[in-house]
Amino acid sequence: MSERNWGITTFALVLGAVVGLFLSISAQAAGPVKDELGVISIPKGAPITIGGMWVISGADTALGTDSKRGAEIAFKDAGNKILGHPIKFVVEDDQCNAEGGQAAATKLAAVPNIVAVLGSACSSVCTPAAPILWKVGIVELGTACSAPSLTAADRKPTYDGFVRTIFSDIDQGAADAKFLHDSLKAQKIVTVHDGSPYAQQLTVVTAANFTKMGGTVLSQEAIAPTDVDMHPLLTRIATEKPDVIYMPVFVAGAAQIVRQVKDVPGLEKVTLVGGGSLMAPDLIKAAGTAVVGFRIAYPDVSPEAMGKTYPKFLEAYKKAYGEGPISGFHGQAYDAAVLLIKAIDKVGKTEGGTTYIGRKALRDAIFAMPEFDGVSGPIKCDAHGECGKFKPAVYQYTDADPATFLIGKNPKKIWP
C-alpha cells in the first residue's frame, strides 16, 4: 500500500469512529426536529453547506466541469438561497477514479454541517464514495455515474443514501447493442473496458444484449487507463476480424485507440464506437485528425429530447460561462441540485431563526419527491434511487478542430 493510500485509509477509519460517536449523540431532537440519523442545525444568517465532487483536472475535466456548472446554474436560479440561508458550495476534485473518490468523500464528510453531496460524474467515484458519505448520514445525488450496480435492487444497505438523476447503463447497454446490430449491421464485435465500474459493467450489458440479438462477441478485452501503446491489443483483436470494436472508455485511452487502430493490418475498416465519457473537446485534441468519423453511443441531449426548460437553461449557461456546454450531463446536475433544494424546502424547519434539517428525513424526502419536469427530462426516484429517464442516441465527430466542438454539430447526432 502506498504512503498516500495508507494516509487516506487511516484518516477514513479515524473519521468513521469520530463521526459514529457524533451520530450516536446527535440522533435526538434539535429544535422542532427529531431524526434517527441526526439533525443539522443552521443558525440564522449561516449558510446551508452543500458539497460537490466531480473530475475537474486531467483528461476528463470537461465531464466534471460541465456538471459543476449545471449545479451552479440551479443554485443561481434559486437565488443562491434555501430557506433564507445563503448556499455555500464546497467542491472537491475526485479525479474520476476510486482513490480520488475516497479522498473527496472523506474530505466532504468532515465538513461541519454539510447537508448533502452532488456528484460524481464517474461510477469509479460513486462506488466507493456513497458508502463513506452514508455512513455519516450524508445523501449523495449522482449526476452522471451510471453503473447498474449503484441502483440495483440488491444493492447493499451502504448505498441507501445514494440516488442519481442519470439513467442506468442497463438501458444504455440495451440501446447500444441495438445500434450495433440493427444500424451498423454488425455480426461480430470485440468489447474493450478500462477496469472502471462504468466501462466494465456497460460492456457486459451491451455484450449480453448483442448476443441475444444473434450477434457474436469475439472477446471482451481490457486496458489500463494509463496505457499508451495499444498496438499489442489491437494486433490481437485484428486476428479475430470483428466488425466493430465497442470501447466505452475514457478520453486518454480512447484517444490512443482511435489514433493507432489504422496502423494495424486488418483493422483499416473496422468501426469504433465509444461511450458517454467521450463527449468532450479534449477528445478532439488528444485524437487529432483520427477523431473524424468516430462514433459515441450517448443519451440524446438534443434540445427536443430534453426537458421543456432546456432552451432557457442553455441561454443561462452561455451567459454565465461564455460558451455552450462542454459535455453532456449538465442537465442531470442541474436536476440533482433542484431535487435537493426541493427536499430541503420540504423537511427543513425554522424556529427562532435557526433552521433544522433531519438527515434521514432529507433522504426520505428525496426518494419520495413527486415527479417534476427537469432540464434533462422527468425526474422521479424509484425505491432504489433511480431518478432519471433514458433516451438513446449516437453522435459522430465531424471535424478535428477542437474549436468546432459543439454538441449537435461536432459531434452531430446520427442515430436514431
The DSSP bridge pattern shows strands 114-118 and 48-54 to be: parallel
What is the rounded average pLDDT of the residues 48-53?
A: 98
H helix count then E strand count, the chain: 12, 20
Q: What is the structure's pLDDT at 281?
A: 95
Residue 179 identity (one-letter amino acid):
F
Rounded Cα distance between 199 and 223, Å, is: 11
DSSP 250: -
The DSSP bridge pattern shows strands 162-164 and 139-142 to be: parallel
Read off the C-alpha cell for 50. 452543500
Q: Tell me whether the CATH fold assigned to 3-166+329-385 matches the one assigned to 170-302+393-415.
A: yes
Residue 289 φ/ψ, nearest 5 degrees: -65, -25
**3-166+329-385 topology per CATH:** Rossmann fold (3.40.50)
List, for residues 241-252, the tens digit of each pLDDT value. 999 999 999 999
DSSP-assigned letters across all residues of 210-227: HHHTT-EEEEEEE--TT-
Mean pLDDT of the chain: 93
Read off the C-alpha cell for 8. 487516506
What is the rounded average pLDDT of the residues 327-352?
A: 97
Decide if pLDDT at 269 tops 60.
yes
- Cβ burial, residue 207 (10 Å; 0-12/13-18/19+): buried
Decide if pLDDT at 9 tops 80.
no
Q: What is the CATH number of domain 170-302+393-415?
A: 3.40.50.2300
DSSP-assigned letters across all residues of 67-107: HHHHHHHHHHHTTTEETTEEEEEEEEE-TTSHHHHHHHHHH
List, for residues 70-120, the tens digit of each pLDDT value. 999 999 999 999 999 999 999 999 999 999 999 999 999 999 999 999 999
Q: What is the structure's pLDDT at 27?
A: 52
- Domain boundaries, given as residue ranges, for the chain: 3-166+329-385, 170-302+393-415
Q: What is the structure's pLDDT at 28?
A: 75
